[in-house]
Amino acid sequence: MNFIRLLKYRSGSFFLLIALLGIINSLVFGSIMVFINNVIAGVGLPFALLPQSWLYGLLLLVSFILNKTFQTCIARLTNSIVYEYESAVIDKLRVSTFESFEKLGAQRVYTAIQDTRLLAQLPSNFVNAVNSVVIIFCGVAYMCWLSWKGGALILLFMTLLLIFYLARNSAIEKQLNQVRDLQNDYHRYLRDFLNGFREIKMSLQRNNNIYEHYLKHTLHRARVLNDRTSIRYLINELTGNYSWYIVLGLILFIMPQVLTIPAARITAFVVTILYIMGPLATLISSFPFFTRLKIAVERIEGLEREIDTYPQYDLEKETVSFPENFRDIVFNNVGYEYKDAGGKPLFEVGPFNLSIRKGEVIFITGGNGSGKSTFINLLTGIYMPTQGNLLYNGQQLVMNSYPWYSNRLSAIFTGAYLFNENYDGFDLEEDNRVLQKYIRMMELESIVRFDSARKTIDNKLSMGQRKRLALIYALMENRDVIVLDEWAAEQDPVFRAYFYEQIIPVLKQMKKTVIAVTHDDKYYGQADRILHFDYGRVIKDIKVQPVAHSALAK
């Protein structure tokens, strides 16, 4: 099974630990079984060097200490696997391209993270299962020692029972896999439900449909499948338990006649069967867990494998250095092609041949779907071109230079996501003069609330205010190039005018290079240059003359 391979892979001493537990348990439990049988039969222990009660106590003590050591090792080992799995998924995503993340979909990542939680139950289940196997093994060995024919019969019976379980388990596994697929769908609908909660409140039909036909429908299908698997497992357990009582009946009523085994040995057989029935029940009831675990591990590994097929950056080894002072960004025949899941081309943006020079204020204009945001994604290094090359200060970007390239630009995308924590390590103390200057510049003096304990600023703001705060953070990054995608769209007319007529000139004075997607034709004159997009291409690259502003606005 996968997790056995996993344990083995993560720890060289894994099999040593298992062997140790096996030997200890064989000795201890074997002795206890013999001990109890002999006490019942009134016979002294064959190898008693100490008084019986002392020996019994000593066996328990040794067993306790060694079992504790073994279980601690297994618990540490498996807990570290849980930790490694979860951090491995996040770590791989961290170095993946944005396109890979778009292809994977957030819901699959959420499900995988949930899967890793199941691994946390591995230590106790695994130790119980190993203990049970060892006790069962000792019991069967003892029965074979009592009577090899009787032992062989028990062994045959156990093999048949195992075949029965395995056959039924493969059918259950299929159903559990279907449940997992439904879980992915469910997460997708749930994200729609939670992210679009306001929109759902606005339509009874939408509200009803998402609940009845998607969320509840998927939950219902999962419930039916879960019911089926639970019943199958229940039948497995009952079959297992009852069949052992049948075996007890055979031992009590048939064995003495057919195999002519003496009564004292029959008692020993019955005691041994009763002794191993507990561990057998534990083993049978751990089947559902191990099947679920197997599916979870396969899914996590499947996700990891899929992430591995996508391009990944090497953030650890290679550090790409660009010359300090920004000069220009050059698009050399750069194009990007969207494809569907089957690789069929959907829409092509570019090819672009243009340069963006230090200190320029460039407005990107064009109709909906004309390719502006795709261009912004290419410019910021979020997308890698499917054709052509991008050059930063004359240095051609290769796969691994993208993270360092993106790190040279500040960007505010259309959603302007504000993080809940200060991951950038900005100085967000109230007495930071530079911060206060930017707050005044964005007219947020009476709005921002400092959280000095968490060293953050509260992000519960209106959309327009959030974008102003995002611009403050972009300025605090102190980078040469600032990219804005429809930044002013949510600003009120007064602040919008202030942004184009006051803030943009200040940014220009600060020698920032500004590339802004905009539909505000009234302010086109504030740009040095306008790139007008249509159907994925730049159809106009206009150098703005101050006198020509009004003409451009048309």
Ligand X SMILES: Nc1ncnc2c1ncn2[C@@H]1O[C@H](COP(=O)(O)OP(=O)(O)OP(=O)(O)O)[C@@H](O)[C@H]1O
Nearer to ligand X, 108 or 265 (CB): 108
Least distance (Å) between residue 373 CB and ligand X: 3
CA distance 494 to 371: 29
Number of residues that bind ligand X (CB under 6 A): 11
Least distance (Å) between residue 374 CB and ligand X: 3
Residues in the chain: 554
Site string for ligand X, 173-192 (x = CB under 6 A): --------------------
Nearer to ligand X, 372 or 467 (CB): 372
Looking at the DSSP bridge assignments, the partners of residue 357 are: 328
CA distance 519 to 370: 12
Least distance (Å) between residue 20 CB and ligand X: 55
Tokens representing residue 143 in the block: 């029965």
Please list, in sequence order, all residues whose beta carbon lies within 8 angstroms of the beta carbon of residue 114, skipping any fewer than 6 positions away. none
What residues between 347 and 366 interact with ligand X by CB under 6 A?
A: 347, 366
Least distance (Å) between residue 376 CB and ligand X: 8
> Is 371 one of the binding residues for ligand X (CB under 6 A)?
yes
Least distance (Å) between residue 371 CB and ligand X: 4
User: What beta strand segments (E) does 211-340 contain?
Assistant: 328-339
Nearer to ligand X, 302 or 369 (CB): 369
CA distance 303 to 437: 46
Nearer to ligand X, 161 or 384 (CB): 384
Binder of ligand X out of 25, 169, 373, 526 (CB under 6 A): 373
Nearer to ligand X, 123 or 371 (CB): 371
Tokens representing residue 196 in the block: 């679009």
Least distance (Å) between residue 350 CB and ligand X: 11
Least distance (Å) between residue 517 CB and ligand X: 7
Helix axes 287-309, 106-119, angle to 10 degrees: 140
CA distance 171 to 376: 50
CA distance 402 to 385: 11
CA dist list (Å): 544 to 27, 75, 300, 466:
90, 68, 54, 30
Helix or strand or coil: residue 60? helix
Binder of ligand X out of 147, 272, 370, 380 (CB under 6 A): 370
Contact between residue 8 and residue 14 where contact means Cβ atoms under 8 Å apart: yes
CA distance 227 to 326: 63
> Is 369 one of the binding residues for ligand X (CB under 6 A)?
yes
Write b or e for each residue in 32-56: b if 16 or more Cβ atoms lie within 10 A of its Cβ, otherwise e.
bbbbebbeeeeeeeeeeeeeeeebb
Nearer to ligand X, 351 or 366 (CB): 366
Nearer to ligand X, 187 or 372 (CB): 372
Nearer to ligand X, 53 or 368 (CB): 368
Least distance (Å) between residue 192 CB and ligand X: 17
Nearer to ligand X, 374 or 491 (CB): 374
Q: Which stretch binds ligand X (CB under 6 A): 148-156, 175-183, 324-332, 372-380?
A: 372-380
Least distance (Å) between residue 486 CB and ligand X: 7
CA dist list (Å): 252 to 256, 258, 318:
7, 11, 74
Least distance (Å) between residue 352 CB and ligand X: 13
What residues between 311 and 340 interact with ligand X by CB under 6 A?
A: 338
Nearer to ligand X, 123 or 351 (CB): 351
Helix or strand or coil: residue 332? strand
CA dist list (Å): 374 to 99, 203, 538:
12, 32, 12
Tokens representing residue 347 in the block: 């829409």
Nearer to ligand X, 262 or 369 (CB): 369
Q: Which single residue brings its beta carbon nearest to ligand X?
A: 373
Nearer to ligand X, 347 or 419 (CB): 347
Tokens representing residue 130 in the block: 């190993």
Binder of ligand X out of 260, 321, 368, 509 (CB under 6 A): 368
Query: Helices then strands (H, E): number in the chain?
Result: 20, 12
What residue type is assigned to position 81 of the chain?
I
Nearer to ligand X, 346 or 494 (CB): 346
Binder of ligand X out of 374, 456, 465, 518 (CB under 6 A): 374
Which of 164, 428, 170 has the alpha carbon at shortest distance from 295?
A: 170
Nearer to ligand X, 78 or 373 (CB): 373
What residues between 28 and 57 interact with ligand X by CB under 6 A?
A: none
Secondary structure of the chain: what % helix, strand, coil (to 5)? 65, 15, 25
Least distance (Å) between residue 523 CB and ligand X: 17
Least distance (Å) between residue 401 CB and ligand X: 24
Q: Which stretch binds ligand X (CB under 6 A): 23-31, 65-73, 370-378, 448-456?
A: 370-378
Q: Which stretch binds ligand X (CB under 6 A): 162-170, 260-268, 314-322, 371-379?
A: 371-379
C-beta pairs of 155-162 under 8 Å, 24+ apart in sequence: 157/243, 157/247, 161/239, 161/240, 161/243
Contact between residue 462 and residue 469 where contact means Cβ atoms under 8 Å apart: no
Least distance (Å) between residue 17 CB and ligand X: 49
What residue type is assigned to position 166 of the chain?
L
| Peptide bond between residue 351 and the one before it cis (omega within 30 degrees of 0) | yes
Least distance (Å) between residue 100 CB and ligand X: 13
Q: Which stretch binds ligand X (CB under 6 A): 3-11, 368-376, 384-392, 453-461?
A: 368-376
Q: Which residues bind ligand X (CB under 6 A)?
A: 338, 346-347, 366, 368-374
